Amino acid sequence: MNKEISTPIRTKEILAKYGFTFKKSLGQNFLIDSNVLTKIVDQAELTPESGAIEIGPGIGALTEQLAKRSKKVVAFEIDQRLLPILEDTLSPYPHVTVRHSDVLEANVHQVIADEFEEGQDLMVVANLPYYVTTPILMKLLEEKLPVRGIVVMIQKEVAERIAAKPGSKEYGSLSLAVQYHAVAKTALTVPKTVFVPRPNVDSAVLHLELRQKPPVDLLSEAYFFEVIRSSFGQRRKTLLNNLQNNLFSKDQKPMIEEVLAETGIDGRRRGETLSMEEFASLSNAFYKRKEIEDIS
């Protein structure tokens, strides 16, 4: 019986057998700690009937653990050199399918329709390549995939920004962009020592439970995010100043003040103190005026 892929000895053997060299440009930091892998997979709360979608299986350390706890695993891997390795390491798990593709280019909806049963409980679980964490997460969220949630290992600092609450220094447009789609929490922090090669930064596991419906009612989703981005333009500036500089113009100050008064939001506050509900009422109020008189 082979040892688990994630054990340092087996990982070393696999890498040596195939003469594999890491590509930093693809964010290749492989996990070599089975305790951490177990904790990641625990977070996903899979059942024997669940399906798992993995991004970047590497040599299959996490894939193997997902395969042991689910009905089917589909993994997207961009690096062609890993395909023969995965075919070898994952040969005991016929219910794993590896797709050679850049997940950012992939039609994930179609893959789900082709590979899983309708209505099947699905989770995305991955140790993400750090250079593209945010684009991958935003793609998965914005495409509104039929999945229950997402459990990903990412850079600790990014995980903290995503899960941040209003009023903290980590809170910003990324927190709101993700929390609009999901309830976010950081599940555990992970030291650099559990990877080969060791990354320069600490990592954390982020748990996202997708919302069944948006947490706020919006007249325009696109405009809501525009107001948010503008409000965080220069973090030291007040909300009024940021809105005036980044979304409107100086001569529209009276209109901005009117809308702030109408929504009960003090323009001297800073963007990072506003809750999602406050951003929603602000953007809806601006949007109503925009519809009437095209204010920006």
Interface residue list for ligand SAM (CB under 6 A): 26-31, 55-58, 61-62, 76-79, 82, 102-104, 127, 129, 132
Minimum distance of ligand SAM from residue 77's CB (angstroms): 5
Contacts of 251 (CB under 8 A, 6+ apart): none
Nearer to ligand SAM, 82 or 210 (CB): 82
The dihedral formed by the CA atoms of 130, 44, 191 and 102, expressed in degrees to the nearest 10: -20
Nearer to ligand SAM, 155 or 231 (CB): 155
Nearer to ligand SAM, 103 or 164 (CB): 103
Neighbours of 136 (CB within 10 A): 23
Minimum distance of ligand SAM from residue 11's CB (angstroms): 8
Nearer to ligand SAM, 192 or 235 (CB): 192
Nearer to ligand SAM, 25 or 212 (CB): 25
Using an 8 Å Cβ cutoff, are 147 and 122 in contact? yes
Using an 8 Å Cβ cutoff, are 192 and 199 in contact? yes
Minimum distance of ligand SAM from residue 60's CB (angstroms): 7
Minimum distance of ligand SAM from residue 274's CB (angstroms): 33
Minimum distance of ligand SAM from residue 268's CB (angstroms): 43
Using an 8 Å Cβ cutoff, are 281 and 247 in contact? no
Residue nearest to ligand SAM (CB): 56
Nearer to ligand SAM, 104 or 113 (CB): 104
Minimum distance of ligand SAM from residue 173's CB (angstroms): 23
